[in-house]
Structure 1
């Protein structure tokens, strides 16, 4: 008995020390990243002043990069492309950090010293233009992801949106590219729903609106004829690629199962997909439909949500939320179907890999022709 207590004590000690080490590493990584961004911003500013003011000749940045490699053998991250990206980074954000736009008039008076004997002043990136939490997120995102956002998004609001979400969700490069390709910014909060009348708590309602998108890109689902495919086929491909589907849903979703069994009055019912969302602290039931939304779908989902709240939901959790994921929908039909429903639900659409944009249709061969060619 005593030995077990000692073992438990050691386990607690190991857990505490491990958490302290991980927390310390995380804070150290944040500090290092903060310094790296400040360095790249300062170098980018110096390069911008010199190159944009035509003080250097052609191929200056490539020459400087090569000379740096000679001065510091093994130096990484300072190729010609990388230095140009530092200039882009500076020019994208200098109006925020210097409180003035970049122009030919202020190039000569840059805060970064210039000239043959000048030096590059590395200062902490701080600004009154951003709230503290947004600035913290900005400094936590790695330079590679910063550049990816700058390269794909021109609007400042969109850039800051992806920066904040990248920091909060600990997105790697692949996740960031996926969410930008899927236009997470444009789809947030646009899904037709009845949250306003079914979720009384304002904070929870706001979180629910931000947790679901109007349309989901299921580019891992590959079916030749979506209109002739049973929902179960789509469901199987989703389950087979569950990590990709969770990435499509967003952060904080945990998969609980497919064809989730409910028993009501000795009769069995099955929910297509069941998830739990940590941020919402609620069960999320998803019903898959291969065609257009129909009003009767809302009644069936309302029944499932009542059963989940009665038999599955834990006392501390919020009421379950239902999502009908279908190929198409009519907004007025959704509105009427939801009008007297008392459970929170919404209707989102999805696209699969087989659906090419109109501008690409006709360019690629048909599947049968492609098989013959192969």
Structure 2
């Protein structure tokens, strides 16, 4: 019976691996097609000095030639041209997409710059065309685009999650200075920690009105716990939720950490303190105390030092920098952005504030 179970596991893995490879090959072929179509359209438009309106004619004629054809509307043809123009200048991409896409040896190790890795091309063809278009539309620099391509491929980001990361500008985390990780952690851990945390988190599923900070912090915490799956997606890969109002007992006094996580990649406890207002230097002392208690009372012997993140509405970078200067515990300060606008369809349907006031009267 055990042998049968093992056989089933092996067969399951083979099937899943095969399906992944087939899907990857199909996606790669689609990208090649869209790239070459983008090339042909761009060449014709430039050579014959046509305007973009010709794309509508091309889309209509394609429908006549291939009735029921999907995915080749005017807007999609524009995206194909955009896709081509974004990567035409990168010879390793353009030559691979047009000539050697099926060659598994085609890699990007020959790039002259240091911003690309050898497996980048494999990741490039692993994400869908819609992912590529979103990245191109929201970024300008090649290194920023590669950040999102790599993250999307490695972490299997959906298009919606990618859009959140793009709105959040998570690539700026690479140059984030709102932490002291490099100064207090070993290099191999500090680099991972810098990549693991963001300068700002987009919490568009939370809607907390301005008001008393003390009350709103509890409301914010409750909203995050109720939406813990979405919050984990906002945080990124490898975070595990351990609890809210996590109790630690020091001597005979109780203390409660707003949110406690464990990060598998860092092998560290992650304490989050929520603040509704602007960052204040005194927050650092409290977090430093929490981290000391976690390291002594909760952390396992094989785990790395606990990390603290103060999540607040606003921050002044200079105040954050000065606050970190003499602390030896790994600390970071990040901001968050919640939903503060109604969807257009609801905004049009509801009366304005003045009209609503009159109705209430």
Q: Shorter-chain TM-score category?
A: 0.7 to 0.9
**Mapping of residues 13-92 of structure 1, within 5 Å:** 13-54=7-48, 59-92=53-86
Instruction: Return closer, same or farther for 1:17/1:269 CA change in 2, 3 Å cut-off.
Output: farther
Instruction: Indicate the residue corresponding to 2:100 in structure 1.
Output: 124
Query: Which one of the candidate residues 107, 121, 124 is aligned to 1:135?
Result: 121
Note the alpha carbon deviations across 1:253-274, whole angstroms, 9 max, x for none: 2222111122333543211001
The within-5 A match list for 1:1-374 is 6=1, 8-54=2-48, 59-97=53-91, 122-125=98-101, 128-129=110-111, 130-200=116-186, 202-228=187-213, 229-354=215-340
The 1-side partners of 2:182 and 2:294 are apart by 21
How many Å apart are 1:337 and its aligned residue? 3.4
Q: 1:206 is paired with a residue of what secondary structure?
A: helix
In structure 2, the CA distance between the partners of 1:135 and 1:122, relative to structure 1 (3 Å rule), is closer
**Number of residue pairs the alignment of both structures matches:** 341
Structure 1's 11 and 371: CA in aligned 2 closer, same or farther, altered over 3 A? Answer: farther
User: TM-score, with normalisation over the residues of structure 1?
Assistant: 0.80
Q: What is aligned with 1:117?
A: none
Q: Give the SS at the match of 1:14.
A: helix
For structure 1, the residue ranges without an aligned partner over 5 or more in a row are 1-5, 101-110, 112-120, 357-363
Runs of 4+ in 1 over 6 A off after TM superposition: 55-58
What is the CA-CA distance between 1:285 and the residue it aligns to?
0.6
Cα distance in 2 for residues equivalent to 1:258 and 1:296: 22
Q: TM-score, normalised by structure 2?
A: 0.83
Question: How far did residue 301 of structure 1 move?
Answer: 1.7
Mapped partners of 2:135, 2:55: distance in 1: 23
After superposing the two structures, state which structure 1 stretch, 57-66 or 84-93, moved more. 57-66
Instruction: Give the direction of change, closer, same or farther, for the CA distance of 1:26–1:98 in structure 2 (3 Å limit).
Output: closer
For residues 80 and 323 of structure 2, the distance between their equivalents in structure 1, rounded to whole angstroms, comes to: 52
Deviation, structure 1 residue 45: 1.0
3-state SS of paired residue (1:291): coil
Q: Quick one: distance in 2 between partners of 1:269 and 1:49?
A: 67
Secondary structure of the residue aligned to 1:140 is coil
Structure with the greater alpha carbon radius of gyration: 1
Please say if residues 320 and 333 of structure 2, whose CA atoms lie closer than 8 Å, have aligned partners that are also in contact: yes
Tell me how large the CA RMSD over aligned residues is.
3.0
The alpha-carbon deviation at position 365 of structure 1 amounts to 8.7
> Aligned-pair distance for 1:91?
1.6
Aligned-pair CA distance for 1:344: 0.8
- Alpha-carbon deviation of 1:181? 1.0
Whole-angstrom CA distance in 2 between matches of 1:372 and 1:239: 37
C-alpha deviations, 1:299-324, integer Å up to 9, x for none?
22222222322333233322211111
Residue 118 of structure 1 corresponds to none
- Measure how far apart 1:218 and its partner are: 2.3
Distance change (3 Å), C-alpha of 1:350 and 1:191? farther
State the secondary structure of the residue aligned to 2:244.
Answer: strand
Structure 1 residues 372, 255: CA separation in 2 closer, same or farther (over 3 Å shift)? farther
CA distance in 2 between counterparts of 1:60 and 1:328 reads 48
**CA distance in 2: counterparts of 1:11 and 1:79, whole angstroms:** 49
Find the aligned partners of 2:122 and 2:358 in 1 and give their Cα distance. Answer: 55
